[in-house]
Amino acid sequence: MKTLLALALRSAWNRRLTLGLTLAAVSLSALLLLGVERLRTDLRTSFALSISGVDLVVGARGSPVQLMLYSVFRMGEVSQNMSWASAQWLAQHPAVAWTVPVSLGDSHRGFPVLGTTPAYFDHFRYGDQRPLHLAAGRRFDALFDAVLGAEVAERLGYVLGQKITLAHGSGEGPGTEHGDKPFTVSGILARTGTPVDRTVHISLEAMEALHLDWAGGAPIPGLSIPPQLVRKFGLTPKSVTAVFVGLDNRAAVFSLQREINGRGEEALMGVLPGVALDELWQLVAVAERYAQLVSLMVVAVGLTGLVAVVLAGLNERRRELAILRSVGARPRDVFALLALEGISLSLIGAAFGSVLVAMLVLALAPWLQANYGLALSSVWPGPAEWWLLAGIVAVGAVASLLPGWRAYQLSLADGMTPRL
Amino acid sequence: MADAAVRIADLRFAWPGQATLCLDIRALTIARRESVFVVGDSGSGKSTLLALLGGVLVPQAGSIDVLGTELSRLSAGERDRFRVDHTGFIFQQFNLIPYLTMQENVLLPCRFSARRRQRALARSATLAGEARRLLNELDLDETLWRRPVTQLSVGQQQRVAAARALIGEPELVIADEPTSALDAGRQAAFLDLLARECAQAGATLIFVSHDARLASHCSRSVSMADLQHRGTPP
């Protein structure tokens, strides 16, 4: 066996270019298969960990998935806000323990701005019921204070006391800066690995103050209210994007949801975060399945190529195999020599594939974190991926029996003199 | 005659699916330490005879006895083992495995046969030492040893193959047209060298060729045409 292994290695090294390319194909196909799986599971985990402890997300009636994506993950948009009156009604509802109203729409250099109340810092939970922590400074206190997520502060190099200006909407296009009302960084949150990290938090009143002299998404011509005068106006918001609701007793969630959905004054909906996420996954499941199918096909192509290369090499190696026969190699040694090659290649290919996935995760994780607040958690394969890896190796091994068997037959027919 | 290297009696062999016998040999005996020249045209069954002697093929009828062992009584695996333990082979050309060094090529039989390894170690302290001894013996200069075997001349390659056939002192050396790719002058020189080395090692040499002019270098000459009885299939 040692002799065979040494021979297989030397022989493979002799054909390193062809085998190397084959190996690359198998590795890349493994990368694709594992990568799709990794992205799928990690994104789910990351989404699920982004919000916890919130029993209901309430907003204007529409798509529950959209409301979740926008209010929790800052993705997409919702077309309608809910009224402040409804938010007040929720806050005073006997079944409700706490509410956190949130208002989105502005941005700072690409990072979303969230208007909320101080209760946000008390009640918002992520991961395994973990509360938010301030790494530095304090919550917003003065009207134009801002609390930064960890990623915002790190990426833009901001420190406490820094003056920043916000932009209306996504901040693209001219004339959308709220340049007249600068904010002061009062606090910086500890990193959470969620969309909170890339959020600029301000008070709802400040959000209202920013837009006193705005209407319909643009400054009102000829009207400019300087920051020192905004206190003269009522800064109670007229509407918010959504309200996060915590209940005294979680069992009441469905009856409250029914009450919210049936409220006559305003068309509202209450969304259970878990249910909305499940709905989201159902939506993307079709795309996921296609991605999985395509990556499975790519693996099949990779392994077919591998077998083809080993088989093609067999013809050139008939004389080599005949020589080995003359010095005592048995037909089954010849079989092992060829099968070993295919099995090793699929094994190494699968291993390379998972190393590539790990490298890709390390390379992509900061980008995903910075742009979407999504954490790719694991560098090492998860349980499902181990099965996929085992599958690649198993299929590769079984497929490698073909060249092995072919070599076995040839060596029986050829003996010591190949009939070429 | 316990000291016969090869004894064939009433041997018949036909390739599967073929009506005529490829080999039909009444009797052939080759004594130990003899050097026998087997001459025959292509298609006369020479290669089949060698495959039978090597135990790669088994006859449909008759007996083929090598060094006192009836080959057809051995299992396929035992024949593979017997072959490497007792026989060294040299083929027409491309005898060497291209990705192995000269020394590794020579030592191949010792990798597959414990007997050959032990006998090689009985002559030299190390396997590498024995390989070097044989390569020197066969006029392969030390400067060539590190060269990839594919860069050697045909004559040099055949001498490496001879060293491989001789290492571990097998009782039988079978050469199948080893000189056909050499020019006339070198053919005789190679055969002389091979016969001398076999004699020195006490090995029986069976040298097969279509070229009867080389027969004089061996102690005895046998023609395939004379051997063949050409009867009906069994």
Would you state the structure tokens that stand for residue B184, as one six-digit string?
Answer: 């006339």
Whether residue A420 lies within 8 A of chain B, CB to CB, comes out as: no
Q: Is B181 on the interface with A (CB under 8 A)?
A: no
Give the confidence band of A174 by pLDDT, cuts at 50, 70, 90.
low
Chain B residues whose beta carbon lies within 8 Å of the beta carbon of residue A417: 47, 50-51, 91, 176
A215-231: per-residue pLDDT in tens?
Answer: 777 788 877 888 888 88
φ, ψ of residue A277 to 5 degrees: the values are: -65, -40
Residue A173 pLDDT class (50, 70, 90 cuts): low
pLDDT at A302 over 70: yes
> What burial class does residue B183 get, using C-beta atoms within 10 Å of its C-beta: 0-12 exposed, 13-18 middle, 19+ buried?
exposed
d(CA A226, CA A21) in angstroms, rounded, equals 67
pLDDT (0 to 100) of residue B1: 44
pLDDT digits (tens, 9 = 90+) for A333-370: 999 998 988 999 999 999 999 999 999 888 888 887 77
Give the whole-angstrom CA distance, residue B109 versus residue B87. Answer: 10
pLDDT at A2: 79
pLDDT at A210: 87
Bridge partners of A130, per DSSP, are: A126
Q: Give the tens place of pLDDT for each residue, B64-110.
A: 999 999 998 999 889 999 999 999 999 887 789 999 999 999 999 99
Query: What's the pLDDT score for residue A368?
Result: 78
pLDDT tens column, A39-57:
888 888 888 888 888 999 9
- In this predicted structure, the answer to whether residue B206 has a pLDDT above a threshold of 50 is yes
Confidence of residue B146 (pLDDT cuts 50, 70, 90): confident
Strand partners of residue B8: B28, B64
* Candidates A326, A333, A411, partner chain B, best to mutate (most B CBs within 10 A): A326
Contact B91 A329 (CB under 8 A): no
Asked if B81 is an interface residue toward chain A (Cβ–Cβ < 8 A), one would say: yes
Binary contact (B97, A323; C-beta < 8 A): yes
Reported pTM: 0.76
Averaged pLDDT of chain A: 89
CB of B189 within 8 Å of a chain A CB? The answer is no
User: Between chains, do A328 and B113 touch, taking CB under 8 Å as contact?
Assistant: yes
Q: Which residue has the higher pLDDT, A210 or A419?
A: A210
Residue ranges and CATH numbers for the domains of chain B are: 35-47+76-227 (3.40.50.300)
Residues in chain B within 8 Å Cβ distance of A319: 94
Interface of B with A in 148-177 (CB under 8 A): 164, 176
Q: Do B76 and A10 touch (CB under 8 A)?
A: no
Q: Pick the range with the lowest mean pLDDT from A204-213, A280-289, A365-374, B153-162.
A: A365-374
Residue B126 reports pLDDT greater than 80: yes
Does pLDDT of A409 surpass 90?
no
C-alpha to C-alpha distances, B82 to A66, A416, B170, nearest whole angstrom: 78, 15, 10
